[in-house]
Chains A and B, each alone.
Chain A
Amino acid sequence: MTETRLTFIVWFLLITLTLLGYTVGQLGMSGTGALAILLGAALIKSQLVISHFMEMKHAPSFWKWIPSAWLIVVLGAIILTYQ
């Protein structure tokens, strides 16, 4: 698969997950299930941007893990504080 086609698929996934999150918000959903969907969508979307748009998949090991570690710390803090 060409890089251009791959990044189009990534874009499509990002938009789909955005609409999923928006639907959860519009339905006024709350609680563990809604949080799991929103956090899961944010995790996948962010990692897609990190790997495919920021091209971290081609970066040296030390540097490539910094944005992913950032993401885990931020989402982890949200999980801990949203009971």
Chain B
Amino acid sequence: MDIAEKRLPGDFAIWIFIYAELLVFAVFFISYAVTRSNHVELFNHSQLLLDRTAGMINTVVLITSSWFVVNAVHAIKAGHVKQCTRWLQGAIGMGAIFLVIKMFEFTTKHAEGINLSTNAFYMFYLSLTFFHFMHVILGMVILVAVMINAKKGRYSATETTGVETGASYWHMVDLVWIVLFPLVYLMR
């Protein structure tokens, strides 16, 4: 791409969607922070019972999947369709690992008898992480569609919009988690 050319990567419509999603997550994050300020002891105590290691591994997994998607975009820009497909498959695989680890976390908390009505902290923890979980699933559906199109040879060095559109959405899912993880699991 010509560096002098200023443009949003991918389809413009996805950016409206991405900015709307960011707004919703911002409301969620700020609500969490404000609610916590009224229940500091409760939030600090409940937070200590979360599985920080699972959260950290999922952060590494999601960041790495985002990097795979960056490589897929670079590959298609260079006209390397097969490489692009492989990077996308890697990213989808990492997304699946994220979902498995998150499900493990959800089932562990469920087995401990924790649910949305346990307390204010767990209401936020469960709803925020589940809301994000749904976005990971949607992002994976988009990446699978892009990967199938790439396999069918619908993208090339001169037709990169589809790959960039899927990539942009996936990075948004990653960005939100990068704020969510320290906020909900670590900051006290």
Asked if B155 CB lies within 8 Å of chain A CBs, one says: no
- Inter-subunit contact A67/B22 (CB<8 Å): yes
A37 to B106, CA, bound (A): 28
Residues of the B chain whose Cβ atoms lie less than 8 Å from the Cβ of A74: 26, 29-30, 179
Cross-chain contact of B29 among A35, A54, A77 (Cβ < 8 A): A77
Cross-chain contact of A7 among B22, B70, B185 (Cβ < 8 A): B70
- Inter-subunit contact A30/B6 (CB<8 Å): no
Asked if B71 CB lies within 8 Å of chain A CBs, one says: yes
The residues of B with any CB-CB pair to A shorter than 8 Å are 1, 3, 5-9, 15, 19, 22-23, 26, 29-30, 33-34, 36-37, 44, 48, 52-53, 56, 59-60, 63-64, 66-67, 69-71, 74, 164, 167-168, 171-172, 174-175, 178-179, 181-183, 185-188
Q: How many A-B residue pairs have CB under 8 A?
A: 132
Cross-chain contact of A78 among B56, B70, B175, B183 (Cβ < 8 A): B183
Report 5 cross-chain contacts, Cβ distance below 8 Å, ordered by A residue.
Answer: A22-B53, A53-B167, A59-B7, A78-B183, A82-B36
A67 to B53, CA, bound (A): 28
Cross-chain contact of B186 among A4, A21, A53, A66 (Cβ < 8 A): A21
- Inter-subunit contact B63/A15 (CB<8 Å): yes
A3 to B29, CA, bound (A): 33
For residue A40, give the distance in angstroms from its CB to the closest CB of chain B: 10
Question: Which residue from chain B places its CB closest to the CB of A4 in the assembled complex?
Answer: B74
B-contacting residues, A20-48, CB 8 Å: 21-22, 24-26, 28, 30, 34-35, 38-39, 41-42, 45-46
Q: How large is the interface on A (under 10, 10 to 19, 20 to 34, 35 or more residues)?
A: 35 or more
- Inter-subunit contact A60/B8 (CB<8 Å): yes
A66 to B53, CA, bound (A): 32
- Inter-subunit contact A53/B171 (CB<8 Å): yes
- Inter-subunit contact B33/A42 (CB<8 Å): no
- Inter-subunit contact B6/A24 (CB<8 Å): no
Residues of the A chain whose Cβ atoms lie less than 8 Å from the Cβ of B29: 74, 77-78
